[in-house]
Protein backbone atom coordinates (compact mmCIF):
# COMPACT_ATOMS: atom_id res chain seq x y z
CA UNK A 1 0.00 0.00 0.00
CA UNK A 2 1.47 3.35 -1.07
CA UNK A 3 0.21 6.48 0.62
CA UNK A 4 -0.34 9.60 -1.44
CA UNK A 5 0.70 12.57 0.73
CA UNK A 6 2.08 11.94 4.22
CA UNK A 7 2.91 14.64 6.77
CA UNK A 8 5.50 14.08 9.49
CA UNK A 9 5.38 16.68 12.25
CA UNK A 10 8.25 16.97 14.69
CA UNK A 11 10.60 16.05 11.86
CA UNK A 12 13.60 17.70 13.52
CA UNK A 13 13.18 15.79 16.77
CA UNK A 14 15.10 12.65 17.67
CA UNK A 15 12.37 10.28 16.49
CA UNK A 16 11.50 12.34 13.43
CA UNK A 17 15.07 12.26 12.16
CA UNK A 18 15.20 8.49 12.69
CA UNK A 19 11.93 7.90 10.81
CA UNK A 20 11.99 10.37 7.93
CA UNK A 21 13.95 8.33 5.38
CA UNK A 22 11.98 5.14 5.96
CA UNK A 23 8.64 6.96 5.88
CA UNK A 24 9.52 8.40 2.50
CA UNK A 25 9.48 4.86 1.12
CA UNK A 26 5.80 4.49 2.06
CA UNK A 27 4.37 7.46 0.19
CA UNK A 28 4.38 9.42 -3.05
CA UNK A 29 5.07 12.67 -1.18
CA UNK A 30 6.48 13.16 2.32
CA UNK A 31 6.14 16.58 3.93
CA UNK A 32 8.48 17.27 6.85
CA UNK A 33 7.51 19.91 9.39
CA UNK A 34 8.76 21.38 12.64
CA UNK A 35 9.41 24.79 14.16
CA UNK A 36 11.45 26.84 11.66
CA UNK A 37 14.40 27.19 14.04
CA UNK A 38 14.49 23.43 14.62
CA UNK A 39 14.50 22.69 10.90
CA UNK A 40 17.30 25.19 10.31
CA UNK A 41 19.34 23.78 13.20
CA UNK A 42 19.34 20.30 11.71
CA UNK A 43 19.49 21.32 8.06
CA UNK A 44 16.16 19.68 7.23
CA UNK A 45 14.29 20.83 4.13
CA UNK A 46 10.75 21.11 5.34
CA UNK A 47 7.87 23.41 6.17
CA UNK A 48 8.30 25.55 9.26
CA UNK A 49 5.12 25.55 11.32
CA UNK A 50 4.19 26.46 14.88
CA UNK A 51 1.46 23.97 15.79
CA UNK A 52 -0.16 26.56 18.07
CA UNK A 53 -0.83 28.75 15.01
CA UNK A 54 -4.14 27.53 13.58
CA UNK A 55 -3.71 29.28 10.23
CA UNK A 56 -0.22 27.85 9.77
CA UNK A 57 -1.46 24.34 10.54
CA UNK A 58 -4.34 24.78 8.09
CA UNK A 59 -1.89 25.67 5.35
CA UNK A 60 0.39 22.78 6.29
CA UNK A 61 -2.45 20.26 6.06
CA UNK A 62 -3.50 21.13 2.50
CA UNK A 63 -4.02 17.88 0.61
CA UNK A 64 -2.56 15.69 3.37
CA UNK A 65 -3.97 12.16 3.39
CA UNK A 66 -2.20 10.78 6.46
CA UNK A 67 -0.19 12.21 9.36
CA UNK A 68 2.48 10.90 11.70
CA UNK A 69 2.19 13.41 14.52
CA UNK A 70 5.37 13.61 16.59
CA UNK A 71 5.34 17.38 16.98
CA UNK A 72 5.17 19.21 20.31
CA UNK A 73 6.97 19.34 23.63
CA UNK A 74 8.41 15.88 24.24
CA UNK A 75 9.45 16.07 27.90
CA UNK A 76 7.99 17.02 31.25
CA UNK A 77 8.08 20.73 32.04
CA UNK A 78 6.06 23.85 32.88
CA UNK A 79 2.47 23.87 31.69
CA UNK A 80 2.39 26.91 29.39
CA UNK A 81 4.72 25.60 26.64
CA UNK A 82 3.00 22.22 26.82
CA UNK A 83 -0.40 23.92 26.56
CA UNK A 84 0.57 25.70 23.36
CA UNK A 85 2.33 22.86 21.55
CA UNK A 86 0.59 19.74 22.85
CA UNK A 87 -2.98 20.88 23.50
CA UNK A 88 -3.58 23.78 21.13
CA UNK A 89 -1.33 22.09 18.60
CA UNK A 90 -3.18 18.78 18.56
CA UNK A 91 -6.55 20.60 18.49
CA UNK A 92 -5.41 22.61 15.47
CA UNK A 93 -4.16 19.46 13.76
CA UNK A 94 -7.43 17.54 14.15
CA UNK A 95 -9.56 20.52 13.19
CA UNK A 96 -7.54 20.99 10.02
CA UNK A 97 -7.72 17.25 9.34
CA UNK A 98 -11.52 17.44 9.56
CA UNK A 99 -11.69 20.33 7.10
CA UNK A 100 -9.13 18.84 4.71
CA UNK A 101 -10.57 15.33 4.64
CA UNK A 102 -7.46 13.72 6.12
CA UNK A 103 -8.00 9.98 6.42
CA UNK A 104 -5.75 8.86 9.29
CA UNK A 105 -3.48 10.23 12.02
CA UNK A 106 -0.84 8.24 13.88
CA UNK A 107 -0.49 10.12 17.15
CA UNK A 108 2.66 9.77 19.23
CA UNK A 109 1.20 9.45 22.70
CA UNK A 110 3.38 8.34 25.59
CA UNK A 111 3.80 5.81 28.36
CA UNK A 112 3.61 8.83 30.68
CA UNK A 113 -0.17 8.66 30.29
CA UNK A 114 0.11 5.79 32.80
CA UNK A 115 3.33 6.92 34.47
CA UNK A 116 1.91 6.78 38.01
CA UNK A 117 1.07 3.09 37.73
CA UNK A 118 3.31 0.83 39.80
CA UNK A 119 6.29 -0.74 38.09
CA UNK A 120 5.58 -4.39 37.39
CA UNK A 121 1.83 -3.79 37.05
CA UNK A 122 0.64 -5.33 33.76
CA UNK A 123 -1.46 -2.84 31.83
CA UNK A 124 -3.62 -3.04 28.73
CA UNK A 125 -4.40 0.00 26.54
CA UNK A 126 -7.89 0.35 28.06
CA UNK A 127 -6.58 0.64 31.62
CA UNK A 128 -7.36 3.65 33.79
CA UNK A 129 -5.03 6.54 32.88
CA UNK A 130 -2.56 7.63 35.56
CA UNK A 131 -0.53 10.49 34.06
CA UNK A 132 2.64 11.48 35.87
CA UNK A 133 2.83 15.19 35.01
CA UNK A 134 1.90 17.99 32.63
CA UNK A 135 3.34 16.12 29.67
CA UNK A 136 1.42 12.93 30.44
CA UNK A 137 -1.82 14.90 30.83
CA UNK A 138 -1.23 16.56 27.46
CA UNK A 139 -0.88 13.17 25.78
CA UNK A 140 -4.08 11.99 27.44
CA UNK A 141 -5.77 15.07 25.95
CA UNK A 142 -4.44 14.08 22.53
CA UNK A 143 -5.89 10.59 22.90
CA UNK A 144 -9.23 12.20 23.79
CA UNK A 145 -9.11 14.36 20.67
CA UNK A 146 -8.38 11.27 18.57
CA UNK A 147 -11.39 9.48 20.07
CA UNK A 148 -13.65 12.50 19.51
CA UNK A 149 -12.68 12.95 15.89
CA UNK A 150 -13.19 9.27 15.13
CA UNK A 151 -16.61 9.10 16.79
CA UNK A 152 -17.92 12.36 15.32
CA UNK A 153 -16.04 12.81 12.06
CA UNK A 154 -14.68 9.41 11.05
CA UNK A 155 -10.99 10.35 11.13
CA UNK A 156 -9.08 7.19 12.01
CA UNK A 157 -6.34 7.41 14.64
CA UNK A 158 -3.77 5.07 16.08
CA UNK A 159 -2.48 6.42 19.39
CA UNK A 160 0.86 4.89 20.33
CA UNK A 161 1.94 5.09 23.97
CA UNK A 162 5.60 5.04 23.09
CA UNK A 163 8.10 3.72 25.61
CA UNK A 164 11.87 4.30 25.70
CA UNK A 165 12.57 4.87 22.01
CA UNK A 166 16.37 4.91 21.88
CA UNK A 167 19.01 2.97 19.96
CA UNK A 168 19.67 0.88 23.10
CA UNK A 169 18.06 0.49 26.54
CA UNK A 170 19.79 2.64 29.15
CA UNK A 171 18.76 1.42 32.63
CA UNK A 172 16.68 -1.12 34.54
CA UNK A 173 13.40 0.61 33.72
CA UNK A 174 14.07 0.48 30.00
CA UNK A 175 14.46 -3.29 30.14
CA UNK A 176 10.65 -3.14 30.37
CA UNK A 177 9.92 -0.07 28.23
CA UNK A 178 12.46 -0.13 25.38
CA UNK A 179 11.32 0.32 21.77
CA UNK A 180 14.07 -0.28 19.22
CA UNK A 181 14.38 1.93 16.12
CA UNK A 182 13.48 -1.03 13.90
CA UNK A 183 10.36 -1.83 15.91
CA UNK A 184 9.41 1.86 16.06
CA UNK A 185 9.31 2.13 12.29
CA UNK A 186 7.56 -1.22 11.94
CA UNK A 187 4.87 -0.13 14.41
CA UNK A 188 4.30 3.19 12.66
CA UNK A 189 4.23 1.54 9.24
CA UNK A 190 1.62 -0.93 10.50
CA UNK A 191 -0.38 1.94 12.01
CA UNK A 192 -0.38 3.77 8.67
CA UNK A 193 -1.26 0.82 6.46
CA UNK A 194 -3.49 -1.52 8.48
CA UNK A 195 -7.07 -1.56 7.20
CA UNK A 196 -9.92 -0.08 9.23
CA UNK A 197 -8.16 0.85 12.45
CA UNK A 198 -10.93 3.19 13.67
CA UNK A 199 -9.66 4.42 17.02
CA UNK A 200 -6.85 2.20 18.27
CA UNK A 201 -4.74 2.55 21.40
CA UNK A 202 -1.51 0.56 21.64
CA UNK A 203 1.71 0.60 23.60
CA UNK A 204 5.00 1.04 21.80
CA UNK A 205 7.62 -1.38 23.09
CA UNK A 206 9.78 -4.15 21.75
CA UNK A 207 9.40 -7.85 22.65
CA UNK A 208 10.86 -7.34 26.12
CA UNK A 209 10.24 -10.28 28.49
CA UNK A 210 9.95 -7.77 31.35
CA UNK A 211 7.42 -5.54 29.55
CA UNK A 212 4.72 -4.00 31.75
CA UNK A 213 2.27 -3.54 28.89
CA UNK A 214 0.01 -5.94 27.01
CA UNK A 215 -0.99 -4.75 23.54
CA UNK A 216 -1.68 -8.22 22.16
CA UNK A 217 -5.10 -7.38 20.70
CA UNK A 218 -4.13 -3.95 19.36
CA UNK A 219 -0.92 -5.26 17.78
CA UNK A 220 -2.87 -8.07 16.10
CA UNK A 221 -5.32 -5.52 14.73
CA UNK A 222 -2.44 -3.51 13.29
CA UNK A 223 -0.43 -6.52 12.12
CA UNK A 224 2.61 -5.57 14.21
CA UNK A 225 5.05 -8.12 15.60
CA UNK A 226 8.10 -6.68 17.43
CA UNK A 227 11.45 -8.17 16.48
CA UNK A 228 13.85 -6.88 19.13
CA UNK A 229 14.28 -7.27 22.89
CA UNK A 230 16.04 -5.37 25.66
CA UNK A 231 16.96 -8.57 27.49
CA UNK A 232 20.49 -8.92 26.01
CA UNK A 233 21.41 -5.76 27.98
CA UNK A 234 19.94 -7.03 31.28
CA UNK A 235 23.15 -8.00 33.05
CA UNK A 236 24.78 -4.61 32.54
CA UNK A 237 21.68 -2.51 33.24
CA UNK A 238 19.90 -4.16 36.18
CA UNK A 239 21.95 -2.17 38.69
CA UNK A 240 21.25 1.20 37.04
CA UNK A 241 18.16 2.64 38.71
CA UNK A 242 17.07 5.41 41.11
CA UNK A 243 16.97 4.76 44.87
CA UNK A 244 14.53 1.95 45.57
CA UNK A 245 12.43 4.08 47.93
CA UNK A 246 11.90 6.84 45.33
CA UNK A 247 8.81 7.35 43.19
CA UNK A 248 11.05 7.14 40.14
CA UNK A 249 11.97 3.56 41.05
CA UNK A 250 8.46 2.56 42.06
CA UNK A 251 6.30 4.04 39.29
CA UNK A 252 6.33 3.36 35.57
CA UNK A 253 7.10 6.96 34.59
CA UNK A 254 10.61 6.69 36.03
CA UNK A 255 12.60 9.92 36.09
CA UNK A 256 9.61 12.08 35.17
CA UNK A 257 8.44 11.52 38.76
CA UNK A 258 11.45 13.55 39.92
CA UNK A 259 10.48 16.60 37.84
CA UNK A 260 8.35 19.53 39.01
CA UNK A 261 6.18 20.91 40.38
CA UNK A 262 6.70 24.07 38.40
CA UNK A 263 5.47 26.76 40.78
CA UNK A 264 5.93 30.42 40.01
Domain positions in the chain: 3-258
Q: Which of 94, 135, 149, 203 is catalytic?
A: 135
135 included as an active-site residue: yes
Contacts of 213 (CB under 8 A, 6+ apart): 111, 122, 123, 124, 125, 161, 163, 203, 205
Q: Report how far apart the first and last C-alpha atoms of the chain are (Å, whole number).
A: 51
**pLDDT tens digits for range 151-161:** 999 999 999 99
Closest CA to 82 of 35, 44, 156, 139: 139
pLDDT exceeds 90 at position 24: yes
HSE on the CB side for 54, CA within 13 Å? 8
DSSP 164: B
Confidence at residue 68, expressed as pLDDT on a 0 to 100 scale: 98
* Per-residue pLDDT reduced to its tens digit, 54-64: 999 999 999 99
% of the chain residues with pLDDT over 70 = 99
The DSSP bridge partners found for residue 66 are 6, 104
How far is it, in rounded angstroms, from Cα 104 to Cα 126? 21
- 173-230: per-residue pLDDT in tens? 999 999 999 999 999 999 999 999 999 999 999 999 999 999 999 999 999 999 999 9
Q: Which of 172, 205, 200 has its CA nearest to residue 186?
A: 205
Our CA angle for 136, 251, 228, nearest 5°, is: 80
Q: What is the pLDDT of residue 264?
A: 67
Other beta carbons within 10 Å of 72: 25
The answer to whether the CB of 206 falls within 8 A of the CB of 228 is yes
Fold annotation for 3-258: Rossmann fold (3.40.50)
Query: Which residue blocks in the chain are alpha helix, DSSP H?
Result: 14-24, 36-42, 54-60, 79-82, 89-100, 134-153, 174-177, 181-193, 216-222, 234-237, 247-250
Q: Mention every residue, 6+ apart, whose C-beta is less than 8 A from residue 231.
A: 175, 208, 209, 210
Amino acid sequence: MTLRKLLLTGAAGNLGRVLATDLASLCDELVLSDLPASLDKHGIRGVGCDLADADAVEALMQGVETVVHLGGVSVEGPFEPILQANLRGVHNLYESARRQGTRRIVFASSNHVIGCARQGQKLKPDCEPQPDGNYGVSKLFGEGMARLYWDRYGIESVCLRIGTALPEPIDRRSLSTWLSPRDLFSLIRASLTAPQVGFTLAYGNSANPRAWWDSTEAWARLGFVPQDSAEPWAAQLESIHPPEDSRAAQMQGGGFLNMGPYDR
